[in-house]
Amino acid sequence: MRDLVSHVKENLLREKEDMFVSGETVRPGILVVINGTDWELEDELEYELKDSDEIVFISTLHGG
C-alpha cells in the first residue's frame, strides 16, 4: 500500500496532494478500503497488494 499511496500522490494529485496525503500516509478523513475491509484491519501501509485487490479511497470530508 505504501507504494500505491506514493504513486497516487506523485502521479495523480500533483496540485492538491495535501488534501490526500500527510507525510507518506493518507490524511485523516480519507477512508481506505481493501477488498471491502477497512485498511486499519489490514496493516495499513504494510499491506502487500495483490493483482486481484480492489482499493477504494473515500473522503469523509464534505461541506454542509
Q: What is the pLDDT of residues 6-57, one digit of tens each?
A: 999 889 887 888 888 998 899 999 999 999 999 999 999 999 999 999 999 9
CB atoms within 10 A of CB 13: 13
Which tens digits make up the pLDDT trace of 30-42? 999 999 999 999 9
Q: How confident is the model at residue 64 (pLDDT cuts 50, 70, 90)?
A: low
Vertex 7 angle, CA 58 and 5, to 5°: 40
pTM (2 d.p.): 0.85
What cell does 50 get? 495483490
Average pLDDT over the chain reads 92
Enumerate domains of the chain plus CATH numbers.
2-59 (3.10.20.30)
End-to-end Cα spacing for the chain: 32
Instruction: Please state the separation of Cα 4 from the chain's center in Å.
Output: 8
